Amino acid sequence: MQIIILARFFGYFDDKYKKGTGIVFSKGSNGNGLSGVAEVLSFASTGNAIPVLHEIRHALVELLGNGTASTIDLGAIPFAAGDERFLDDVLGKGEVTATLNVMGTSHVQETAVAGVWRVDHFNEAGETQSRFIEVTFMPEILKTQTEDAADGLEKLSARLKEEDAS
Amino acid sequence: MVDKPMLPELLKANGISRRGFLKYCASLTSLMALSPAMMPRIAHALENAPRPSVIWLSFQECTGCTEAITRSHAPTLEDLIFNAVSLDYHHTLQAASGHAAEAAREAAMKEHWGKYVLVVDGSIPVDNPGYSCIAGISNLDMLKETAEGAAAIVAVGTCAAYGGIPHADPNPTGAVSVGDIIKDKPIINVPGCPPIPVVMTGVLAHFLTFGIPELDELGRPKAFFGETIHDRCYRRPFYDKGLFAEGFDDEGAREGWCLYKLGCKGPTTRSVCATTKWNGGTSFPIQAGHPCLGCTEPDFWDNGGFYKPLSVPAGDYRKLGLAAVAAGAVAGVAGGALARSGKARAAAAHEKVDAHDLEKKS
Protein backbone atom coordinates (compact mmCIF):
# COMPACT_ATOMS: atom_id res chain seq x y z
CA MET A 1 0.00 0.00 0.00
CA GLN A 2 2.83 2.26 0.95
CA ILE A 3 4.42 1.73 -2.43
CA ILE A 4 1.23 2.57 -4.28
CA ILE A 5 0.90 5.88 -2.43
CA LEU A 6 4.56 6.64 -3.04
CA ALA A 7 4.19 5.77 -6.69
CA ARG A 8 1.18 8.01 -7.15
CA PHE A 9 3.03 10.98 -5.85
CA PHE A 10 5.57 10.80 -8.64
CA GLY A 11 4.92 12.65 -11.89
CA TYR A 12 3.91 10.60 -14.85
CA PHE A 13 2.75 7.25 -14.03
CA ASP A 14 0.34 6.57 -16.76
CA ASP A 15 -1.55 3.51 -17.76
CA LYS A 16 0.85 2.89 -20.59
CA TYR A 17 3.62 2.04 -18.18
CA LYS A 18 1.43 -0.08 -16.01
CA LYS A 19 0.09 -2.03 -18.98
CA GLY A 20 3.18 -1.94 -21.15
CA THR A 21 5.62 -3.21 -18.59
CA GLY A 22 3.27 -5.36 -16.64
CA ILE A 23 4.56 -3.85 -13.41
CA VAL A 24 2.33 -4.45 -10.45
CA PHE A 25 2.96 -1.89 -7.77
CA SER A 26 2.82 -3.87 -4.63
CA LYS A 27 5.46 -5.26 -2.38
CA GLY A 28 4.07 -8.74 -2.65
CA SER A 29 4.48 -8.97 -6.39
CA ASN A 30 8.24 -9.28 -6.41
CA GLY A 31 8.68 -10.57 -2.92
CA ASN A 32 11.35 -8.03 -2.12
CA GLY A 33 10.68 -4.60 -0.62
CA LEU A 34 13.98 -3.10 -1.76
CA SER A 35 13.67 -4.11 -5.39
CA GLY A 36 10.05 -2.93 -5.31
CA VAL A 37 11.24 0.49 -4.14
CA ALA A 38 13.94 0.54 -6.82
CA GLU A 39 11.33 -0.28 -9.42
CA VAL A 40 9.04 2.50 -8.28
CA LEU A 41 11.94 4.94 -8.07
CA SER A 42 12.76 4.20 -11.69
CA PHE A 43 9.53 6.08 -12.48
CA ALA A 44 10.43 9.07 -10.31
CA SER A 45 10.17 12.26 -12.30
CA THR A 46 11.30 15.83 -11.80
CA GLY A 47 9.04 16.97 -14.63
CA ASN A 48 12.03 18.20 -16.63
CA ALA A 49 11.75 15.81 -19.56
CA ILE A 50 8.96 17.74 -21.32
CA PRO A 51 10.81 21.10 -21.35
CA VAL A 52 13.93 19.34 -22.67
CA LEU A 53 11.89 17.77 -25.45
CA HIS A 54 10.59 21.23 -26.41
CA GLU A 55 14.17 22.52 -26.40
CA ILE A 56 15.12 19.68 -28.74
CA ARG A 57 12.24 20.59 -31.05
CA HIS A 58 13.40 24.21 -31.20
CA ALA A 59 16.97 23.06 -31.89
CA LEU A 60 15.73 20.88 -34.74
CA VAL A 61 13.90 23.89 -36.24
CA GLU A 62 17.20 25.84 -36.04
CA LEU A 63 19.14 22.99 -37.65
CA LEU A 64 16.74 22.81 -40.58
CA GLY A 65 16.31 26.57 -40.88
CA ASN A 66 19.92 27.76 -40.87
CA GLY A 67 22.07 24.70 -40.27
CA THR A 68 22.95 25.59 -36.66
CA ALA A 69 23.80 22.53 -34.60
CA SER A 70 23.06 22.52 -30.85
CA THR A 71 24.15 20.54 -27.86
CA ILE A 72 22.13 20.06 -24.66
CA ASP A 73 24.02 18.95 -21.57
CA LEU A 74 21.80 16.46 -19.76
CA GLY A 75 24.13 16.61 -16.74
CA ALA A 76 23.15 20.22 -16.17
CA ILE A 77 19.49 19.42 -15.66
CA PRO A 78 18.09 17.65 -12.61
CA PHE A 79 16.91 14.39 -14.13
CA ALA A 80 15.49 11.39 -12.32
CA ALA A 81 15.32 7.88 -13.67
CA GLY A 82 11.74 8.42 -14.81
CA ASP A 83 12.77 11.46 -16.87
CA GLU A 84 15.40 9.37 -18.69
CA ARG A 85 12.82 6.71 -19.31
CA PHE A 86 10.36 9.24 -20.74
CA LEU A 87 12.99 10.89 -22.93
CA ASP A 88 14.08 7.51 -24.33
CA ASP A 89 10.48 6.54 -24.92
CA VAL A 90 9.61 9.68 -26.86
CA LEU A 91 12.82 9.88 -28.89
CA GLY A 92 13.17 6.14 -29.54
CA LYS A 93 16.07 4.39 -31.25
CA GLY A 94 17.13 5.35 -34.76
CA GLU A 95 19.18 3.81 -37.52
CA VAL A 96 22.72 4.56 -36.39
CA THR A 97 24.51 3.27 -33.30
CA ALA A 98 28.24 3.70 -32.77
CA THR A 99 30.54 2.70 -29.92
CA LEU A 100 33.78 4.62 -29.59
CA ASN A 101 36.70 3.06 -27.77
CA VAL A 102 38.49 6.16 -26.68
CA MET A 103 39.53 6.64 -23.05
CA GLY A 104 36.74 4.35 -21.98
CA THR A 105 33.75 4.00 -24.26
CA SER A 106 31.33 6.50 -25.74
CA HIS A 107 27.93 5.57 -27.09
CA VAL A 108 26.60 7.63 -29.97
CA GLN A 109 23.12 6.86 -31.15
CA GLU A 110 20.80 8.58 -33.54
CA THR A 111 17.32 8.61 -32.09
CA ALA A 112 14.21 7.74 -34.07
CA VAL A 113 13.84 11.51 -34.48
CA ALA A 114 16.45 11.89 -37.23
CA GLY A 115 18.94 14.67 -36.54
CA VAL A 116 18.67 14.15 -32.77
CA TRP A 117 21.57 12.15 -31.31
CA ARG A 118 22.34 10.81 -27.84
CA VAL A 119 26.03 11.05 -26.96
CA ASP A 120 27.04 9.37 -23.69
CA HIS A 121 30.65 9.32 -22.51
CA PHE A 122 31.97 6.74 -20.04
CA ASN A 123 35.41 6.44 -18.45
CA GLU A 124 37.66 3.37 -18.30
CA ALA A 125 35.79 2.07 -15.26
CA GLY A 126 32.48 2.28 -17.15
CA GLU A 127 31.22 5.21 -15.08
CA THR A 128 29.25 7.97 -16.77
CA GLN A 129 31.32 11.07 -17.48
CA SER A 130 28.85 13.20 -19.37
CA ARG A 131 25.59 12.88 -21.33
CA PHE A 132 24.50 15.06 -24.19
CA ILE A 133 21.73 15.43 -26.73
CA GLU A 134 23.23 16.70 -29.98
CA VAL A 135 20.94 18.13 -32.62
CA THR A 136 23.10 17.92 -35.72
CA PHE A 137 23.54 16.16 -39.06
CA MET A 138 26.69 14.45 -37.76
CA PRO A 139 28.13 14.54 -34.22
CA GLU A 140 31.62 16.03 -34.21
CA ILE A 141 33.06 13.16 -32.16
CA LEU A 142 32.25 10.68 -34.95
CA LYS A 143 34.26 12.55 -37.57
CA THR A 144 37.94 11.76 -38.00
CA GLN A 145 39.85 14.74 -36.62
CA THR A 146 42.48 16.40 -38.83
CA GLU A 147 45.24 15.79 -36.26
CA ASP A 148 44.39 12.08 -36.07
CA ALA A 149 44.36 11.80 -39.87
CA ALA A 150 47.81 13.43 -39.95
CA ASP A 151 49.01 10.86 -37.41
CA GLY A 152 47.48 8.15 -39.56
CA LEU A 153 49.37 9.38 -42.59
CA GLU A 154 52.61 9.36 -40.60
CA LYS A 155 51.94 5.85 -39.36
CA LEU A 156 51.10 4.49 -42.81
CA SER A 157 54.14 6.12 -44.39
CA ALA A 158 56.40 4.63 -41.71
CA ARG A 159 54.93 1.17 -42.23
CA LEU A 160 55.41 1.40 -45.99
CA LYS A 161 58.99 2.45 -45.43
CA GLU A 162 59.52 -0.58 -43.20
CA GLU A 163 58.05 -2.78 -45.93
CA ASP A 164 60.35 -1.26 -48.53
CA ALA A 165 63.36 -1.80 -46.31
CA SER A 166 62.60 -5.49 -45.66
CA MET B 1 58.50 25.89 -18.38
CA VAL B 2 59.32 25.85 -22.09
CA ASP B 3 61.41 22.68 -21.90
CA LYS B 4 58.41 20.68 -20.71
CA PRO B 5 56.06 19.23 -23.34
CA MET B 6 52.71 20.94 -23.90
CA LEU B 7 49.45 19.06 -23.53
CA PRO B 8 49.10 17.91 -27.20
CA GLU B 9 52.54 16.30 -27.06
CA LEU B 10 51.70 14.64 -23.75
CA LEU B 11 48.50 13.26 -25.25
CA LYS B 12 50.28 11.94 -28.30
CA ALA B 13 52.99 10.34 -26.17
CA ASN B 14 50.28 8.58 -24.16
CA GLY B 15 48.55 7.29 -27.30
CA ILE B 16 45.46 9.45 -26.87
CA SER B 17 43.80 10.64 -30.05
CA ARG B 18 42.40 14.05 -30.79
CA ARG B 19 38.99 12.45 -30.52
CA GLY B 20 39.85 11.43 -26.95
CA PHE B 21 40.87 15.00 -26.23
CA LEU B 22 37.53 16.26 -27.57
CA LYS B 23 35.71 13.76 -25.38
CA TYR B 24 37.61 15.02 -22.37
CA CYS B 25 36.85 18.64 -23.26
CA ALA B 26 33.14 17.80 -23.61
CA SER B 27 33.06 16.21 -20.16
CA LEU B 28 35.12 19.03 -18.67
CA THR B 29 32.71 21.61 -20.12
CA SER B 30 29.83 19.75 -18.51
CA LEU B 31 31.72 19.50 -15.22
CA MET B 32 32.52 23.21 -15.17
CA ALA B 33 28.82 23.91 -15.72
CA LEU B 34 29.62 25.85 -18.89
CA SER B 35 27.52 25.90 -22.02
CA PRO B 36 28.41 23.06 -24.44
CA ALA B 37 29.01 25.85 -27.01
CA MET B 38 32.15 26.75 -25.03
CA MET B 39 33.74 23.38 -25.81
CA PRO B 40 35.89 24.55 -28.77
CA ARG B 41 37.21 27.46 -26.68
CA ILE B 42 38.18 25.11 -23.88
CA ALA B 43 39.92 22.77 -26.33
CA HIS B 44 41.82 25.70 -27.84
CA ALA B 45 42.80 27.12 -24.46
CA LEU B 46 43.96 23.75 -23.09
CA GLU B 47 46.08 23.15 -26.17
CA ASN B 48 47.81 26.46 -25.87
CA ALA B 49 47.93 26.87 -22.10
CA PRO B 50 51.40 27.32 -20.68
CA ARG B 51 52.17 24.83 -17.94
CA PRO B 52 52.45 26.86 -14.79
CA SER B 53 54.67 25.89 -11.92
CA VAL B 54 52.62 24.74 -8.93
CA ILE B 55 53.86 24.79 -5.35
CA TRP B 56 51.65 22.80 -2.99
CA LEU B 57 51.97 23.52 0.74
CA SER B 58 50.38 21.23 3.35
CA PHE B 59 49.88 22.71 6.79
CA GLN B 60 47.57 21.58 9.64
CA GLU B 61 45.68 18.89 7.77
CA CYS B 62 45.04 15.16 7.59
CA THR B 63 46.35 14.68 4.02
CA GLY B 64 42.81 13.73 2.99
CA CYS B 65 42.81 16.41 0.28
CA THR B 66 45.97 15.02 -1.29
CA GLU B 67 44.63 11.48 -0.89
CA ALA B 68 41.46 12.53 -2.71
CA ILE B 69 43.16 14.22 -5.63
CA THR B 70 45.57 11.36 -6.21
CA ARG B 71 42.99 8.57 -5.93
CA SER B 72 41.69 8.10 -9.41
CA HIS B 73 40.61 4.65 -10.49
CA ALA B 74 42.46 4.56 -13.76
CA PRO B 75 44.94 6.90 -15.39
CA THR B 76 42.67 9.32 -17.18
CA LEU B 77 43.23 12.56 -18.93
CA GLU B 78 42.58 14.26 -15.61
CA ASP B 79 45.87 12.83 -14.46
CA LEU B 80 47.46 14.17 -17.59
CA ILE B 81 46.03 17.58 -16.96
CA PHE B 82 47.59 17.36 -13.57
CA ASN B 83 50.83 16.31 -15.19
CA ALA B 84 50.41 19.22 -17.53
CA VAL B 85 51.06 21.56 -14.67
CA SER B 86 54.53 21.38 -13.28
CA LEU B 87 54.16 20.28 -9.66
CA ASP B 88 57.47 21.55 -8.31
CA TYR B 89 56.88 21.09 -4.57
CA HIS B 90 54.54 18.86 -2.61
CA HIS B 91 56.19 17.47 0.47
CA THR B 92 53.89 14.44 0.74
CA LEU B 93 54.32 13.38 -2.88
CA GLN B 94 57.87 14.40 -3.70
CA ALA B 95 60.81 12.05 -3.23
CA ALA B 96 63.09 14.73 -1.82
CA SER B 97 62.93 15.60 1.86
CA GLY B 98 64.44 18.04 4.34
CA HIS B 99 66.81 20.64 2.92
CA ALA B 100 66.64 19.16 -0.60
CA ALA B 101 62.86 19.60 -0.64
CA GLU B 102 63.06 23.16 0.60
CA ALA B 103 65.75 23.87 -1.99
CA ALA B 104 63.32 22.65 -4.70
CA ARG B 105 60.66 25.03 -3.40
CA GLU B 106 63.03 27.96 -3.31
CA ALA B 107 64.35 27.17 -6.81
CA ALA B 108 60.82 26.97 -8.23
CA MET B 109 59.88 30.25 -6.53
CA LYS B 110 62.94 32.01 -7.89
CA GLU B 111 62.52 30.68 -11.44
CA HIS B 112 58.81 31.45 -11.69
CA TRP B 113 58.53 34.47 -9.37
CA GLY B 114 55.20 36.20 -9.87
CA LYS B 115 53.87 33.41 -12.09
CA TYR B 116 53.52 30.23 -10.05
CA VAL B 117 50.28 28.92 -8.58
CA LEU B 118 50.31 28.27 -4.86
CA VAL B 119 48.03 25.47 -3.64
CA VAL B 120 47.54 25.24 0.11
CA ASP B 121 45.79 22.52 2.08
CA GLY B 122 45.51 22.75 5.85
CA SER B 123 44.99 25.62 8.25
CA ILE B 124 47.65 27.80 9.80
CA PRO B 125 48.18 27.88 13.60
CA VAL B 126 48.82 31.39 14.87
CA ASP B 127 48.58 30.91 18.67
CA ASN B 128 52.06 29.44 18.63
CA PRO B 129 53.66 29.07 15.21
CA GLY B 130 55.69 26.16 16.58
CA TYR B 131 52.56 23.98 16.61
CA SER B 132 53.18 23.13 12.97
CA CYS B 133 56.50 23.47 11.17
CA ILE B 134 58.07 22.07 8.03
CA ALA B 135 61.88 21.79 8.01
CA GLY B 136 61.95 24.14 11.00
CA ILE B 137 59.93 26.81 9.17
CA SER B 138 56.58 27.68 10.73
CA ASN B 139 53.49 27.34 8.54
CA LEU B 140 52.84 31.06 8.98
CA ASP B 141 56.30 32.06 7.73
CA MET B 142 56.25 29.58 4.86
CA LEU B 143 52.84 30.77 3.69
CA LYS B 144 53.79 34.45 3.79
CA GLU B 145 57.09 33.83 2.03
CA THR B 146 55.65 31.60 -0.71
CA ALA B 147 52.50 33.67 -1.24
CA GLU B 148 54.56 36.75 -2.02
CA GLY B 149 55.66 35.52 -5.44
CA ALA B 150 52.47 33.65 -6.35
CA ALA B 151 50.18 34.66 -9.23
CA ALA B 152 47.21 33.18 -7.39
CA ILE B 153 46.47 30.95 -4.43
CA VAL B 154 44.14 27.97 -4.42
CA ALA B 155 43.04 27.09 -0.87
CA VAL B 156 42.15 23.42 -1.17
CA GLY B 157 39.95 21.83 1.50
CA THR B 158 37.89 23.44 4.23
CA CYS B 159 40.92 23.77 6.55
CA ALA B 160 42.80 26.03 4.14
CA ALA B 161 39.63 27.82 3.00
CA TYR B 162 37.96 28.47 6.38
CA GLY B 163 40.09 26.90 9.13
CA GLY B 164 38.19 23.61 9.01
CA ILE B 165 38.49 21.00 11.75
CA PRO B 166 41.62 22.50 13.40
CA HIS B 167 39.58 25.70 13.73
CA ALA B 168 36.73 23.83 15.46
CA ASP B 169 35.80 24.49 19.06
CA PRO B 170 37.93 25.07 21.11
CA ASN B 171 40.53 25.67 18.37
CA PRO B 172 43.55 24.66 20.45
CA THR B 173 46.16 25.91 17.98
CA GLY B 174 44.49 29.19 17.01
CA ALA B 175 44.01 27.85 13.48
CA VAL B 176 43.04 30.31 10.74
CA SER B 177 42.49 30.11 7.00
CA VAL B 178 44.77 31.27 4.17
CA GLY B 179 42.40 34.18 3.51
CA ASP B 180 42.74 35.35 7.12
CA ILE B 181 46.46 35.93 6.55
CA ILE B 182 46.97 36.74 2.89
CA LYS B 183 45.05 39.81 1.76
CA ASP B 184 46.87 40.96 -1.38
CA LYS B 185 46.59 37.95 -3.71
CA PRO B 186 43.64 36.40 -5.52
CA ILE B 187 42.52 33.38 -3.48
CA ILE B 188 40.28 30.66 -4.88
CA ASN B 189 38.67 28.64 -2.08
CA VAL B 190 37.92 25.01 -2.95
CA PRO B 191 36.38 23.76 0.31
CA GLY B 192 35.29 20.23 1.13
CA CYS B 193 36.48 17.64 3.57
CA PRO B 194 37.98 16.63 1.22
CA PRO B 195 36.90 18.40 -1.97
CA ILE B 196 35.67 16.24 -4.85
CA PRO B 197 38.79 15.28 -6.89
CA VAL B 198 37.37 16.43 -10.22
CA VAL B 199 36.39 19.76 -8.64
CA MET B 200 40.04 20.32 -7.70
CA THR B 201 41.29 19.39 -11.17
CA GLY B 202 38.35 21.31 -12.69
CA VAL B 203 39.33 24.50 -10.86
CA LEU B 204 42.94 24.09 -12.01
CA ALA B 205 41.72 23.46 -15.57
CA HIS B 206 39.57 26.58 -15.35
CA PHE B 207 42.54 28.56 -14.13
CA LEU B 208 44.63 27.25 -17.06
CA THR B 209 41.96 28.03 -19.63
CA PHE B 210 40.19 31.18 -18.49
CA GLY B 211 42.15 32.43 -15.46
CA ILE B 212 40.49 33.07 -12.10
CA PRO B 213 36.93 31.73 -12.13
CA GLU B 214 33.95 33.74 -10.97
CA LEU B 215 33.76 33.42 -7.18
CA ASP B 216 30.92 33.61 -4.66
CA GLU B 217 30.93 35.69 -1.46
CA LEU B 218 32.95 32.96 0.30
CA GLY B 219 35.60 32.89 -2.43
CA ARG B 220 34.37 29.63 -4.03
CA PRO B 221 34.10 29.11 -7.82
CA LYS B 222 30.44 29.56 -8.71
CA ALA B 223 30.65 26.79 -11.32
CA PHE B 224 31.06 24.22 -8.54
CA PHE B 225 29.53 25.97 -5.56
CA GLY B 226 26.71 27.88 -7.23
CA GLU B 227 23.91 25.64 -6.02
CA THR B 228 23.10 23.78 -2.85
CA ILE B 229 23.24 20.01 -2.62
CA HIS B 230 19.52 20.20 -1.80
CA ASP B 231 18.84 21.93 -5.16
CA ARG B 232 20.20 18.93 -7.04
CA CYS B 233 19.41 16.13 -4.62
CA TYR B 234 17.59 13.14 -6.04
CA ARG B 235 15.67 12.94 -2.71
CA ARG B 236 14.35 16.47 -3.22
CA PRO B 237 10.89 15.31 -4.45
CA PHE B 238 10.40 13.66 -1.02
CA TYR B 239 11.27 16.92 0.75
CA ASP B 240 8.78 18.78 -1.42
CA LYS B 241 6.11 16.27 -0.50
CA GLY B 242 7.02 16.31 3.22
CA LEU B 243 8.19 12.69 3.32
CA PHE B 244 11.06 12.38 5.79
CA ALA B 245 13.09 9.55 7.32
CA GLU B 246 12.81 9.90 11.10
CA GLY B 247 15.53 7.38 11.97
CA PHE B 248 18.30 5.48 10.21
CA ASP B 249 16.37 2.23 10.17
CA ASP B 250 12.74 3.24 9.83
CA GLU B 251 10.53 2.74 6.82
CA GLY B 252 11.26 6.24 5.50
CA ALA B 253 15.00 5.54 5.54
CA ARG B 254 14.50 2.25 3.74
CA GLU B 255 12.36 3.90 1.09
CA GLY B 256 14.88 6.63 0.47
CA TRP B 257 12.96 9.60 1.83
CA CYS B 258 14.50 12.98 2.60
CA LEU B 259 17.09 13.06 5.42
CA TYR B 260 16.31 16.62 6.54
CA LYS B 261 15.01 15.55 9.95
CA LEU B 262 18.12 13.46 10.53
CA GLY B 263 20.21 16.62 10.32
CA CYS B 264 20.95 16.87 6.59
CA LYS B 265 22.75 20.16 5.85
CA GLY B 266 22.10 19.85 2.11
CA PRO B 267 19.77 22.91 2.02
CA THR B 268 22.54 25.23 3.28
CA THR B 269 25.54 23.53 1.68
CA ARG B 270 26.86 24.53 -1.71
CA SER B 271 28.63 21.77 -3.63
CA VAL B 272 28.23 19.52 -6.67
CA CYS B 273 28.18 16.29 -4.59
CA ALA B 274 24.67 15.43 -5.81
CA THR B 275 25.55 15.62 -9.50
CA THR B 276 29.30 14.91 -9.78
CA LYS B 277 29.25 12.46 -6.85
CA TRP B 278 32.24 10.59 -5.43
CA ASN B 279 34.46 7.66 -6.35
CA GLY B 280 34.11 8.25 -10.05
CA GLY B 281 30.43 9.14 -9.95
CA THR B 282 29.38 6.12 -7.86
CA SER B 283 27.54 7.73 -4.96
CA PHE B 284 27.54 10.53 -2.41
CA PRO B 285 26.74 10.59 1.33
CA ILE B 286 23.00 11.21 0.95
CA GLN B 287 22.73 8.39 -1.58
CA ALA B 288 24.48 6.16 0.96
CA GLY B 289 21.77 7.07 3.48
CA HIS B 290 23.64 9.58 5.63
CA PRO B 291 22.75 13.25 5.95
CA CYS B 292 25.11 15.81 4.45
CA LEU B 293 27.49 17.24 7.09
CA GLY B 294 27.86 20.51 5.21
CA CYS B 295 31.65 20.18 4.88
CA THR B 296 32.03 22.89 2.23
CA GLU B 297 30.70 25.56 4.57
CA PRO B 298 32.66 27.55 7.20
CA ASP B 299 32.51 26.14 10.76
CA PHE B 300 30.68 23.01 9.62
CA TRP B 301 32.11 21.07 12.56
CA ASP B 302 30.48 23.42 15.09
CA ASN B 303 27.33 24.09 13.19
CA GLY B 304 24.85 22.80 15.72
CA GLY B 305 25.38 19.03 15.58
CA PHE B 306 25.44 16.69 12.61
CA TYR B 307 22.17 14.99 13.55
CA LYS B 308 20.14 18.04 14.52
CA PRO B 309 17.79 19.30 11.81
CA LEU B 310 18.57 22.72 10.39
CA SER B 311 15.36 24.01 11.94
CA VAL B 312 16.78 23.42 15.45
CA PRO B 313 18.58 26.54 16.71
CA ALA B 314 22.33 26.00 16.51
CA GLY B 315 23.45 28.24 19.35
CA ASP B 316 26.07 30.87 18.72
CA TYR B 317 28.21 28.93 16.33
CA ARG B 318 26.42 29.69 13.10
CA LYS B 319 26.17 33.37 13.90
CA LEU B 320 29.78 33.33 15.07
CA GLY B 321 30.94 31.85 11.80
CA LEU B 322 29.13 34.40 9.68
CA ALA B 323 30.30 37.26 11.85
CA ALA B 324 33.88 36.05 11.63
CA VAL B 325 33.73 35.83 7.85
CA ALA B 326 32.13 39.27 7.57
CA ALA B 327 34.59 40.83 10.00
CA GLY B 328 37.53 39.25 8.22
CA ALA B 329 36.34 40.40 4.81
CA VAL B 330 35.20 43.90 5.66
CA ALA B 331 37.57 45.09 8.30
CA GLY B 332 40.56 42.93 7.48
CA VAL B 333 40.84 41.94 11.12
CA ALA B 334 44.13 40.21 11.92
CA GLY B 335 43.62 36.45 11.75
CA GLY B 336 45.26 35.76 15.08
CA ALA B 337 43.10 38.16 17.05
CA LEU B 338 40.00 36.81 15.35
CA ALA B 339 40.92 33.23 16.15
CA ARG B 340 41.72 34.09 19.78
CA SER B 341 38.46 35.92 20.42
CA GLY B 342 36.48 33.13 18.77
CA LYS B 343 38.38 30.55 20.77
CA ALA B 344 37.58 32.19 24.11
CA ARG B 345 33.88 32.32 23.30
CA ALA B 346 33.84 28.75 22.01
CA ALA B 347 35.66 27.46 25.10
CA ALA B 348 33.12 29.18 27.36
CA ALA B 349 30.22 27.63 25.46
CA HIS B 350 31.85 24.21 25.09
CA GLU B 351 29.31 21.44 25.37
CA LYS B 352 30.54 17.91 26.00
CA VAL B 353 28.57 15.18 24.28
CA ASP B 354 28.93 11.44 24.69
CA ALA B 355 27.49 8.57 22.67
CA HIS B 356 24.51 8.29 25.03
CA ASP B 357 23.57 11.94 24.46
CA LEU B 358 23.84 11.51 20.71
CA GLU B 359 21.51 8.55 20.88
CA LYS B 360 18.94 10.64 22.77
CA LYS B 361 19.23 13.58 20.40
CA SER B 362 18.91 11.57 17.21
Write out the DSSP string of A104-130.
Answer: SEEEEEEESSTTEEEEEEE-TTS-EEE
Per CATH, is A49-146 categorized as 3.30.1370.140? yes
User: CATH number for the domain including B143?
Assistant: 3.40.50.700
The number of folded domains in chain B is 1
More confident site: A15 or B273 = B273
CB A121 to CB B18 under 8 A?
Answer: no
A42 touches chain B (CB under 8 A): no
CA distances from A149 to A145, A155, B13, B17, B20 (A): 6, 10, 16, 10, 14
- Enter the ipTM: 0.71
Q: Sign of the CA dihedral B79, B81, B83, B85?
A: negative
Report DSSP state, residue B40.
Answer: H
Instruction: Collect all residues of chain B within an 8 Å Cβ-Cβ radius of residue A132.
Output: 26, 30, 36
B236 touches chain A (CB under 8 A): yes
CA distances from B212 to A5, A16, B222 (A): 49, 51, 11
B248 located within any domain = no
B211 located within any domain = yes
CB A73 to CB B29 under 8 A?
Answer: yes
The pTM is what? 0.70
CB A125 to CB B280 under 8 A?
Answer: yes
Going by C-alpha positions, the residue among A61, A47, A64 that lies closest to residue B237 is A47
Question: Phi first, then psi: what are they for A99, rounded to 5°?
Answer: -115, 125
pLDDT at B9: 73
Domain locations in chain A as residue ranges: 2-41, 49-146
CB B77 to CB A103 under 8 A?
Answer: yes
B220 located within any domain = yes
**A9, closest residue in chain B (CA to CA):** B241
Cα distance from N-terminal residue to C-terminal residue, chain B: 55
| Cβ neighbours of B210 (radius 10 Å) | 16
CB A6 to CB B255 under 8 A?
Answer: yes
Q: In angstroms, rounded to a whole number, what is the distance separating the alpha carbons of residues A134 and B273?
A: 26
Q: Which of residues 264-293 of B touch A (CB under 8 A)?
A: 275, 280-282
pLDDT of chain B along its 362 residues, tens only?
344 556 667 777 777 888 888 888 888 788 777 788 888 888 887 777 777 888 999 999 999 998 888 765 444 555 656 666 778 888 888 888 888 889 999 999 999 999 999 999 999 999 988 899 988 899 999 999 999 999 999 999 999 999 999 999 999 999 999 999 999 999 999 999 999 887 887 887 788 778 889 999 999 999 889 999 998 888 888 898 899 999 999 999 998 899 999 999 999 999 989 887 887 667 899 989 999 999 999 999 998 889 988 877 665 544 444 444 444 444 334 444 544 555 555 556 555 556 666 555 44
A154 touches chain B (CB under 8 A): no
CB B256 to CB A37 under 8 A?
Answer: yes
Domain boundaries, position B111: 7-225
